[in-house]
Amino acid sequence: MKIISYNVNGIRAALNKGFGDWLKSANPDLLCLQETKAMEEQVDTTVFEELDYQQHWHSAQKKGYSGVAILTKDTPLNVQIGTGIEHIDFEGRVVRADFEHLSVISLYLPSGTNLDRLDFKFKFMDDFQNYIDTLKKEYPKLVICGDYNICHRAIDIHDPIRNKKVSGFLPKEREWIDGFLKSGFVDSFRYLNPNLQQYSWWSYRANARNKNKGWRIDYNLVSENLKNNIKRAFHLPDAKHSDHCPVGLELEF
Which residues does the annotation mark as catalytic? Answer: 147
Contact 36, 8 (CB under 8 A): yes
Strands across the sheet with 218-223, in order? Answer: 78-81, 94-98, 103-108, 142-147, 218-223, 185-187
Q: What CA dihedral angle connects 141, 143, 216 and 204, to 10 degrees?
A: -160
Indicate the DSSP class of residue 106.
E
Indicate the DSSP class of residue 16.
H
The residues that bridge with 250 in the sheet, in sequence order, are 2, 232
Angle at the Cα of 230 from the Cα atoms of 224 and 236, rounded to 5 degrees: 120
What is the three-class DSSP state of 119? helix
